[in-house]
Structures are given as C-alpha cells and as structure tokens.
Structure 1
Amino acid sequence: MQHHLRSKRPKTKGKIEILHTVDERPKQADARSCLGEWVDDTLVAAGPVCLLVLADRAVRLLAARRCHHDSGSVSKAAFGLLQGRPLKTLTSG
C-alpha cells in the first residue's frame, strides 16, 4: 500500500527591500557636513536574529540593536533607534 505523505514547504521570510543604494546618496552626504545623514547595515547570524547598525556620517555616531531578521522587526528597530535623533536621509548599504 502506498502512502501519500504531506510534504513540508520551505518557510519563506519577508525580504528587506533596498529602496536607496549608496550610489543614489546626495553629493552633500559624501562631504559629511550635514547632521542626520544615516547609513544602515544588517549583520545576519545563523539563527533567527540579526544586528542592525545605524551610523550617522557627520558625527560618526553608531547605534545598534539586536532584532529578528524579518522586515517588520528590522523596520521597528530602525525607527526605535532613530527616535529623538535628527534624520534627513537613511541609506541602506
């Protein structure tokens, strides 16, 4: 007798869409003269977590937070880190 077993589908996770790249950064941001020009980076680990790092280019301030690496958690962590700080642009690198 042949059994038809249910196969598990691979789990898909939300992809983080890169809206603006480093090449699209304004020329004044390269001069590091304006406060509030932020660059972000995510370091993804083997588990379900990642490290979100935000850097202000003018004053070289780093802010980091550990979060899950789905797009909702990363955006929540980014908004939490930027709350109360000056923000002109946020570039994904």
Structure 2
Amino acid sequence: MVALPTVRRWILTGSVTAITVTGALYGADLKTSQERAQERKRITALSANEKISQYEAVIEEWERTRKELERKLENFHARKEGREVGEGDRRMSR
C-alpha cells in the first residue's frame, strides 16, 4: 500500500501544476484580449486617408505574395515538364 505522505505529495504536486497551468492560460488569454482591444482602438482612431493607405499596403503585400506563388508554380510546372521530357528521352535511347 502507498504511504499517506506519498499520496499527499502527489496530490499537492498535481494541484500546484493545475493552478500554474490555469494561471498561465488565463494570463495569456487576458494579454491577447488586451492587445486586440488596443488594436481596435488604434484602427478606429485612424483617419479615412490613413485607413485607405493601410488597406492599399495590405493589397500590395497580397499582390506580391500572389506573384511569388505564381512564379513558384510556373517553375514547378517547368521542372515537371522538363523531367517528363528527359525521362521520355532516356527511355527512347535504351
């Protein structure tokens, strides 16, 4: 049978761990909520021209990302076609 002090130690350890994890999660959630509130305040305080310029910057970033992805896709297709042609030529020469 397990000794009473050992059981008490395990219960205490589990309790402290549960309290620590709960506190960490609650604190992280609280910080995230505060950051969201600050961001909302900042956005609502912007003038119309500032909002427009911010949206334009976001659109430019999306366009840059789209162009990069299209370039990568074209390179992938070119390599794929190149390999297929190369494999076909190797098969023919055997």
Q: Is the TM-score greater than 0.5? A: no
Which structure dedicates a bigger proportion of its chain to helix?
2
Q: Which has the larger radius of gyration?
A: 2
Q: TM-score, normalised by structure 1?
A: 0.27
Which structure dedicates a bigger proportion of its chain to strand?
1
